[in-house]
Structure 1
Amino acid sequence: MKFLFLGLLFLSFSHSGFSQNDKQKQLETRRQELRREIQKINALRAENKSKEKSELSQIEDFNYKISVLNNLIKVTNQQANLLTREINNNQKQITDLRNELKLLKEDYAAMIVKSYKSRNQQSRIMFLLSSNDFKQGYKRLQYMKQYTNHQKQQGETIKSKTAELQQINKDLLVQKEDKQKLIVENRTTQKTLEKERAQHQSLMASIRKNLSKYASQIKAKQREADRIDREIERIIKAAIASSRKKSGTKTTSSTSTFSLTAEEKVLASNFVSNKGKLPWPVEKGFVKLGYGTQRSPVDRSLTIKSNGVRIATEKGTKARAVFEGVVSRIILIKNANPIVMIRHGNYITAYKNLGKVSVKEGDKVSTKQEIGEVFTNPTTGETILNFIVFKDLQTQNPASWIYKM
């Protein structure tokens, strides 16, 4: 009964260990992603070091890097805490195994003593011959065989449990080393974070001296973004009206969905089935501004409305289609860089702020096909792609569609 309890206890620890290992792998994957993200930010900063970035752009950079550093510290802490729990579990397993081994060895020692006392072959024969009948003699013979087998099994169990104990001790040493490495890394990350925060606060102090000027710049940028977004919306509305007219579907003022052909329905269905697995619209980069309405990092009384995501990337980076489709429109607006729109049934992806365009309207494109080059601001050195996803007229959060965005 005692051994059964210890066995069940060990199984419960094993199950817990598997789930903790899975969690540890997930955390490690996330930690490496965040580290790569920081490397991208540092590389782009180094690339643009000689350029005079605007204070607003610098604040965005600081905010994003601080956010990533905070996430890295959080994930590393979670890993360290999980390792602490694993270490505690292993230490308990070691204690339980030692107790179990002690009982096994005591039991084994008692059997050896008993075997020694009855080692005389004549004693064994007498034990069999003193049976009252054949049935009892047979049972005694079987007992002697079972006893011998039990001795061997007990010896093997002790051997395997000893090896298991040694392995857990090794694992424990590795876990303690891993935990120490995480603690050291976290201290380094914390120092970097403090440095970034100090620079951020210094820049914010400078901005606050002339906050009205920067507030005006933010409003002007928002107006420009709104102007471009309205033009995109107008073009999509016209495309919807055209699709409904071609299909003979009645068009009303409230109609805001495409009328699709059979081929377009299949394309839209394939696009949806790849939600969360679509490739990035650039090979390298990070999201500098996310989707949705958010507070301005400079003036908290102002809001920034983002219909898509703003991706910072390297000079000369090619924009690429995130899924197969048809180039429905190339938009050229006064005082703005070209925009490529690709239709995937009733879904549209828009690629804003291109310097060069390598496709034309009506072209069929494949997943990851280059459609142009992202514009690099010659003054700031920044290379930013604005990427939007639409379902009919409604914008979608690109992070829900793009793999690990």
Structure 2
Amino acid sequence: MSTFSQTKKELEQQRKKLKKEIAQVNSLLFKEQKKEKNVLEDLKDLNQKIDVRLRLIRTINSEARLLSREISKNKKEITKLEKELLALKTDYASMILKSYKSKSQQSRMMFLLSSQNFHQAYKRLEYMKQYTSFRKKQGEEIGVQTDLVKKMNDSLLYQKQVKDTLILSEKDQKEKIEIDKNNKVKLISTIKKKERKYKREIQNKINAEKRVAEKIDKIIRDEIAKANKIANAKLINKPKITKKNEFVLSPEAKALAAKFELNKGKLPWPIEEGLITRRFGKQSHPTFPGITINSTGLHMVTQRGRSAQAIFNGKILNVLVTSGGRRNVLIQHGNYITSYNNLEKLYVQKGDNVTTGQKIGQIFTDKVSGKTTLIFVLYKNTTKLNPASWILKR
């Protein structure tokens, strides 16, 4: 397969993936019934939709440029083939004419009988056979070349149709972006009228998230200390292992952690289907760039009524109940821990062993925004890692 074909295939796959993502954004962020108007959430959702559409347009443009290059290359190839075909036809016509003239002047038999000796007659016979064979071969070559030119023309026509479709798709996305941008301007105007109030709300939410994160961090430290105390108690007449904020692992736990590491980038998502609405790490607030969000993990939105699923075999380390009755489940995989926050119903309890893909609890659906959001965090001992680097790319 050529480099062009590989790139083209990748772009086609990317375009399909982005179209699916737009469908998910519309379904998960805009079709859910909302009890109240929340301009900050609406603006955030609109920004995400615009961002996906812009990425789709960039992909379409790249695909269209590649097709333009392929069309240009094919046109040159067709011109070359047509010249070769014309030369073949001219040569063949000349040969047929000479053959016709030869037949009109003397028959083949006379040509052979006029030979001076047997050897010359044999040579003339061989010449006539070769001449006939050459004419046949040249006729076949013309047929092959004609078929090749036709196929190239058909391919060129198809590529032009694909390119036209891509251009129409790009135009459609641009029109939709313009509508979204107009709605964005209106939302920003509304927000600016009560900017101080909204900033206060955001800061309160950030502080609440920070408090939950601190509680989870403390639970993990306490669990590590407790587990290490039990491990050290088993070491009779042996030097005690002291590792601050790191699990002392048994051979089985080490093996489990090693398997977890081997699956980096291939681990399943903690939700069956959905999309990421907030990435990991420090980032500017989408509405107020002056406010910084420190995201402990990934915020994933899914369909109402869906459950969180364990991404790997492990053991329920602890369950935290936050204010508002929301639950956070911690699963230990050796010295790795996965955290599933914002659950309303649990199907597991502390100490349970779980397997990859097992449902651990139903995700809470916010009655105001209508969103079903899972907050997924990954730790190695007490250090937070970027979960996006560990789960499958979608």
TM-score interval w.r.t. the shorter chain?
0.7 to 0.9
**Equivalent residue number for residue 392 of structure 1:** 381
How far is 1:141 from its partner? 7.6
How far is 1:66 from its partner? 1.1
1:292-303 superposed matches below 5 A: 292-303=281-292
Instruction: For 1:21 and 1:167, locate their aligned partners in 2 and report how far apart those are by CA, in whole Å.
Output: 18
Q: What does the per-residue CA deviation read over 1:189-237, in whole Å, with 9 as the maximum and x for residues that have no partner?
A: 1111111111112111221222222222222111111111122222222
**Equivalent residue number for residue 61 of structure 1:** 45
Instruction: For 1:76 and 1:233, locate their aligned partners in 2 and report how far apart those are by CA, in whole Å.
Output: 44
**Equivalent residue number for residue 24 of structure 2:** 40
How far is 1:74 from its partner? 1.0
| Counterpart code for 1:165 | V
| 1:165 maps onto 2:149 in alignment | yes
Structure 1 161/128 Cα, relative in aligned 2: closer, same or farther at 3 Å?
A: farther
**Equivalent residue number for residue 251 of structure 1:** 242
How far is 1:355 from its partner? 0.8
**Equivalent residue number for residue 205 of structure 2:** 221
| Counterpart code for 2:341 | K
How far is 1:142 from its partner? 7.1
Structure 1 205/128 Cα, relative in aligned 2: closer, same or farther at 3 Å?
A: farther
Q: What does the per-residue CA deviation read over 1:14-56, in whole Å, with 9 as the maximum and x for residues that have no partner?
A: x7xx332222221121111111111122223454344214222
| Counterpart code for 2:89 | K
**Structure 2-normalised TM-score?**
0.88
What is the SS of the residue equivalent to 1:38? helix
| 1:22 maps onto 2:21 in alignment | no
250, 273, 288: which one pairs with 2:277? 288
| Counterpart code for 1:94 | I
320, 330, 342: which one pairs with 1:331? 320
What is the SS of the residue equivalent to 2:330? strand
How far is 1:239 from its partner? 3.4
372, 377, 385: which one pairs with 2:361? 372
Structure 1 114/319 Cα, relative in aligned 2: closer, same or farther at 3 Å?
A: same
| Counterpart code for 1:180 | D
Instruction: For 1:112 and 1:275, locate their aligned partners in 2 and report how far apart those are by CA, in whole Å.
Output: 71
1:2-401 superposed matches below 5 A: 18-113=2-97, 115-116=99-100, 117=102, 120-123=108-111, 129=117, 148-245=132-229, 246=231, 250-252=241-243, 255-335=244-324, 337-401=326-390
How far is 1:124 from its partner? 5.5
**Equivalent residue number for residue 8 of structure 1:** none
Instruction: For 1:150 and 1:236, locate their aligned partners in 2 and report how far apart those are by CA, in whole Å.
Output: 86
Instruction: For 1:308 and 1:29, locate their aligned partners in 2 and report how far apart those are by CA, in whole Å.
Output: 27
Instruction: For 1:367 and 1:288, locate their aligned partners in 2 and report how far apart those are by CA, in whole Å.
Output: 24
Q: Which moves more between the two structures, 167-176 or 264-273? A: 264-273
Tell me if the contact between 1:211 and 1:299 (Cα under 8 Å) persists in the aligned partners.
Answer: no
How far is 1:113 from its partner? 4.4
Tell me if the contact between 2:298 and 2:376 (Cα under 8 Å) persists in the aligned partners.
Answer: yes
How far is 1:339 from its partner? 0.6
Tell me if the contact between 1:282 and 1:319 (Cα under 8 Å) persists in the aligned partners.
Answer: yes
What is the SS of the residue equivalent to 2:6? helix
Gaps of 5+ in 2: none
Structure 1 376/153 Cα, relative in aligned 2: closer, same or farther at 3 Å?
A: same
How far is 1:267 from its partner? 2.3
Tell me if the contact between 1:295 and 1:304 (Cα under 8 Å) persists in the aligned partners.
Answer: yes
Instruction: For 2:148 and 2:343, locate their aligned partners in 1 and report how far apart those are by CA, in whole Å.
Output: 61
Q: Which moves more between the two structures, 114-123 or 200-209? A: 114-123
Tell me if the contact between 2:33 and 2:369 (Cα under 8 Å) persists in the aligned partners.
Answer: no
Taking only the aligned residue pairs, the percentage that are identical comes to: 38
Structure 1 378/115 Cα, relative in aligned 2: closer, same or farther at 3 Å?
A: same
Structure 1 81/273 Cα, relative in aligned 2: closer, same or farther at 3 Å?
A: same
What is the SS of the residue equivalent to 2:221? helix
**What's the RMSD between the two structures over aligned residues?**
2.7
Instruction: For 1:257 and 1:146, locate their aligned partners in 2 and report how far apart those are by CA, in whole Å.
Output: 87
How far is 1:64 from its partner? 0.8
Tell me if the contact between 1:296 and 1:303 (Cα under 8 Å) persists in the aligned partners.
Answer: yes
What is the aligned length?
Answer: 383
Structure 1 387/363 Cα, relative in aligned 2: closer, same or farther at 3 Å?
A: same
Gaps of 5+ in 1: 1-14
Q: Which moves more between the two structures, 82-91 or 113-122? A: 113-122
Structure 1 142/303 Cα, relative in aligned 2: closer, same or farther at 3 Å?
A: farther
Q: Which moves more between the two structures, 212-221 or 351-360? A: 212-221
**Structure 1-normalised TM-score?**
0.85
Structure 1 387/158 Cα, relative in aligned 2: closer, same or farther at 3 Å?
A: same
Structure 1 96/269 Cα, relative in aligned 2: closer, same or farther at 3 Å?
A: farther
| Counterpart code for 1:401 | W
